[in-house]
Structure 1
Amino acid sequence: MDILNLCSRVPFPPKDGGTIGVWTLIENLEKIGDKITVFALNTNKHYIDVENVKDQLPENVELIAWAINTDLKWNLALKNLLFSKLPYNSERFFNAEYNHRLKELLKKKHFDIVQIESPNMGFYIPTIRKYSKAKIVARTANVENEIWQRVANAEKNTIKRIYYKILAKRMRQHEISVLQNSDAFLSVTPKDLSYFLEKLEGKKHIASAVIPTGVNAETIVNSIEEKELADFFFIGALDWIPNQEGVIWFLDNVWKEFAEKNPKKYFHIAGRYAPKSFVSLLEKYKNVVYHGEIPDANTFMRQYPVMIVPLLSGSGMRVKIIEAMANGALVISTSIGAEGIGAKNNENIFLADSGEEFIDIMTKLSENKELIHKIRTEALELVKSDFSNEQIAYKLHNFFENLINK
């Protein structure tokens, strides 16, 4: 099967939840025998020198990139607000030259499937329809409009709150439009799938499937080792607003009080692209260690025993929770942070939605080692049964085959 994957950023090397979600599917479909061409926008924010990584790619994966500047520009944002009905954060990803090169690629090569990373790459659907007979499959990593609606609800600045609400409304319309114009779509969680199917009801019958982000077998620990539950950690992309807000909320509402009572415990924070203002803010908190971008996430997660996921907004699934569980870590998360994973409170994860609940769980961790071992073991079993990349890739391959043969 020949697959063209249109990405809003270069997915290799995979270093965060977004690129991991895209790349693991590509990598494991290639292992099955599919041939994949990746045509990605190479944004200045996440720029990759593609020539330097091509020798690391699997044999049947071709990576093509087109440089584009997607920096937020206030004059263009204002123009968009006044004269467009499209969400500005997606509109930035349309590029005329990329569109032209896509046309040439489609004329030159045959593809069975064109998978687009929705909603940012949805602007290229008309070109795909015109120059290819391939089935178009939109992959939704989350419900983007829900994220912006939650950000709006939490925003105290009135002007920003109004703008975020407008953005959420436009994004909702754009997301549904992209799906309506596709032949099928993929969601990473059952919750996201149900949301989109409900919005599409009566508009168009469209094939769909839940294709979560998983982990490769070689990264999963064989068994749970006993650990002294001393330190806590957070890992995630720190240019993402929900991650920034969640970490600061945790520091203010949980860590301040907890660290005063537990001066020998530390909170380790790792992630890429943290703004200088965010890093400076971390310095005022006791026993907080900022690591910045780390060379290997798996090594980091095995070094510290307890993962904190303090998300107050967001959608989709947190890939890092699955990775942490695969590495044997204990996870304490808000309900929103754990959405889409199917984890159960007090069985394979701890859930906390208030500062008091976080503190209570963190304080009691050292008091019941048997329960902790059980939860970590059950979490590992959840990963092995539901989040094996090899099994997920076969499911997606079969979904593509059925779509082609319709």
Structure 2
Amino acid sequence: MKTILFITNRPPFPNTDGRRNILLQYIKQIKEIHPESQIINLTFKDKHEVVNKIPKEIHKVHMLEKPGFVEKILNILKNSVIRRKWPIQTSVFYSKKTHRTVESYIQSYKPDIVIYDMVRVAEYTVDANHVNVLNYDDLLSVRYQRQLKWLQYIPSMFGGFEKNIPPFLRKILNSRLLKYAIIQNESVLLKKYEIQVSSRFNHLLFTSPLEAQRFKEQTGHNSCIGIPMIFEKTETQKPRVFDENKMVFVGRMDIPHNVSAMLFFCKEMWLDLKKSLPALKLYIIGKSPSNEIRLLAERYPDIIITGEVADVRQEISDSALMIAPLVYGTGIKTKIIEAMAEGIPVATNSIGSEGINITHKVNIVSTDDNEEIKAEIIKLIQDKEYNASIARNAKQFIEDEFNQQRMNDRMKKILV
């Protein structure tokens, strides 16, 4: 029986956002490939987060303590500022006491495989006889570098991660004068660190096969594997009925790349679209909407901020299309392939469709030209045959490219 330790920077459940969904998928894949395996989750959690309804695939969950205020500051000063050894992401997650706790669990469980979720927990590696896997998710250094072009649409650099940073330090780090320098510096530190820590791990995991291949070429690491979300073909498909005046955007709405996408779209495109389509409404769906997002409903007509919904799939099922005007980001965007899998047309750009082998105007709309994307949105609303064609082709594409067997074959490379 294999024992697998999964060390995550937050619980991989419940399935309330794309990040948790992909982590839980990996866990379910492992159980499908090795049904007898025992999966132990060591996880950090937010101070007031309640952890319950543990998925049946997880045998046991142990909570890890984040470093205290003083240790965070010392880590940042020593390892991020003076020694320039760790990115801030890592400094605010590392605790010597917690490292000893992780070591004790590894000694107790004697796992065959330990999977570390994201570079911010990479310092918790332990010298023992097991296979080490680092799940990069995507390359944060590239994401930060891309942010620099769009600072005007980024009210906070850190989004949901911000609560891990001491309050007084947040104000300093988010000041307009320092923002560019901090993001640039963090990108440099992350790039160096991403490459440096790769040698400690037997396998490197990414959500994007394209990003995995690029990193393999960059580092020479012999096992870089991309495993995106899985979508299986549904046997019965009801005829699609949608509200031609409903357009949606989906994502956790305190995450910088989602916030900036909506600020950009509303400023640059929304009013023009309303002139052509007066009845059109934009639903921004996702938990924890920031103040900037809430203000959009006051500043612009027919924008509905739903906050967290019980069933995202149900909420978007009757929409004419989903937009994803992401101004920066990296890796495969789960929200896009989820919508395509549901047979909902997607209008996005090269950042949104990165890593997906799409065909513009066949199974998706993907263009960096603002005028073209506005024209395509209008066409998807007004031309039902075009809408149906994009939807049908999108669903078929995802079923062909993101099926269970293909992704399980990739996961087996890690589990050997």
Structure 2 length as normaliser, TM-score?
0.86
Partner of 2:166: none
Q: Aligned runs of 1:22-41 on 2, under 5 Å?
A: 22-32=23-33, 33=35, 34-41=37-44
Q: CA deviation at 1:5?
A: 0.9
Q: CA deviation at 1:20?
A: 1.0
Q: CA deviation at 1:280?
A: 2.1
Matched, 1:66 2:87: no
When the two chains are superposed, the root-mean-square deviation of aligned CA atoms in Å is 2.5
Partner of 1:284: 299
Matched, 1:398 2:383: no
**C-alpha spacing 1:195/1:73, structure 2 compared with 1 (3 Å):** farther
Matched, 1:196 2:215: yes
**C-alpha spacing 1:240/1:366, structure 2 compared with 1 (3 Å):** closer
Q: CA deviation at 1:385?
A: 1.6
Q: Aligned runs of 1:230-309 on 2, under 5 Å?
A: 230-309=245-324
* Partners of 1:224 and 1:315 in 2: CA distance: 34
* Partners of 1:75 and 1:260 in 2: CA distance: 51
Partner of 2:141: 145
* Partners of 1:161 and 1:371 in 2: CA distance: 42
Q: CA deviation at 1:2?
A: 2.1
Task: Check whether the contact 1:43–1:69 (CA below 8 A) recurs between aligned residues.
Answer: no
Q: CA deviation at 1:370?
A: 2.3
Task: Check whether the contact 1:267–1:287 (CA below 8 A) recurs between aligned residues.
Answer: yes
* Partners of 1:27 and 1:124 in 2: CA distance: 24
**What residue identity is the alignment partner of 1:151?**
Q
Task: Check whether the contact 2:242–2:317 (CA below 8 A) recurs between aligned residues.
Answer: no
Q: CA deviation at 1:152?
A: 1.6
Query: Which deviates further from its counterpart, 26-35 or 345-354?
Result: 26-35
Task: Check whether the contact 2:28–2:57 (CA below 8 A) recurs between aligned residues.
Answer: no
Partner of 1:42: 45
Q: CA deviation at 1:393?
A: 5.2
Give the match's secondary structure for 1:360. helix
* Partners of 1:121 and 1:60 in 2: CA distance: 20
1:109-165 deviation per Cα after TM superposition (whole angstroms, max 9, x unaligned): 12121111121111112x2x2xx3111111121111011001123225553112211
1:210-252 deviation per Cα after TM superposition (whole angstroms, max 9, x unaligned): 211224667x973552535321000101121111111111001
Q: CA deviation at 1:200?
A: 0.6
Q: Aligned runs of 1:332-343 on 2, under 5 Å?
A: 332-343=347-358
Task: Check whether the contact 2:115–2:135 (CA below 8 A) recurs between aligned residues.
Answer: yes
**What residue identity is the alignment partner of 2:271?**
K
Where does structure 2 lack aligned partners over 5 or more consecutive residues? 153-175
* Partners of 1:175 and 1:121 in 2: CA distance: 12
Task: Check whether the contact 1:10–1:48 (CA below 8 A) recurs between aligned residues.
Answer: no
Q: CA deviation at 1:321?
A: 1.0
* Partners of 1:2 and 1:74 in 2: CA distance: 32
**What residue identity is the alignment partner of 2:64?**
W
Task: Check whether the contact 2:66–2:94 (CA below 8 A) recurs between aligned residues.
Answer: no
Select the residue among 354, 373, 379 that pairs with 2:388. Answer: 373
Task: Check whether the contact 1:188–1:316 (CA below 8 A) recurs between aligned residues.
Answer: yes
Give the match's secondary structure for 1:254. helix
1:172-210 deviation per Cα after TM superposition (whole angstroms, max 9, x unaligned): 011112212111112222321132113213xxx432222
Q: CA deviation at 1:303?
A: 2.8
Task: Check whether the contact 2:296–2:303 (CA below 8 A) recurs between aligned residues.
Answer: no
**C-alpha spacing 1:25/1:221, structure 2 compared with 1 (3 Å):** farther
* Partners of 1:234 and 1:213 in 2: CA distance: 19
**C-alpha spacing 1:277/1:347, structure 2 compared with 1 (3 Å):** closer
Partner of 1:122: 122
**C-alpha spacing 1:310/1:146, structure 2 compared with 1 (3 Å):** same
Partner of 2:96: 96
Where does structure 1 lack aligned partners over 5 or more consecutive residues? none
Matched, 1:214 2:230: yes
Task: Check whether the contact 1:10–1:40 (CA below 8 A) recurs between aligned residues.
Answer: yes
* Partners of 2:382 and 2:191 in 1: CA distance: 46
**What residue identity is the alignment partner of 1:43?**
D
Give the match's secondary structure for 2:27. helix
Task: Check whether the contact 1:192–1:316 (CA below 8 A) recurs between aligned residues.
Answer: yes
Task: Check whether the contact 1:325–1:379 (CA below 8 A) recurs between aligned residues.
Answer: yes
Task: Check whether the contact 1:224–1:377 (CA below 8 A) recurs between aligned residues.
Answer: no
**C-alpha spacing 1:162/1:285, structure 2 compared with 1 (3 Å):** same
Q: CA deviation at 1:69?
A: 6.7
Partner of 2:7: 6
Task: Check whether the contact 2:7–2:116 (CA below 8 A) recurs between aligned residues.
Answer: yes
Query: Which deviates further from its counterpart, 362-371 or 315-324?
Result: 362-371
Task: Check whether the contact 1:211–1:392 (CA below 8 A) recurs between aligned residues.
Answer: no
**C-alpha spacing 1:262/1:176, structure 2 compared with 1 (3 Å):** same
Structure 1 length as normaliser, TM-score?
0.88
Task: Check whether the contact 1:30–1:60 (CA below 8 A) recurs between aligned residues.
Answer: no
* Partners of 1:308 and 1:214 in 2: CA distance: 21
Matched, 1:176 2:176: no
* Partners of 2:284 and 2:382 in 1: CA distance: 25
Give the match's secondary structure for 1:339. coil
**What residue identity is the alignment partner of 1:18?**
R
**What residue identity is the alignment partner of 2:414?**
F
1:357-393 deviation per Cα after TM superposition (whole angstroms, max 9, x unaligned): 22111122244322321211111112212223x3255
1:87-118 deviation per Cα after TM superposition (whole angstroms, max 9, x unaligned): 11232111233212211111111212111112
* Partners of 1:250 and 1:286 in 2: CA distance: 13
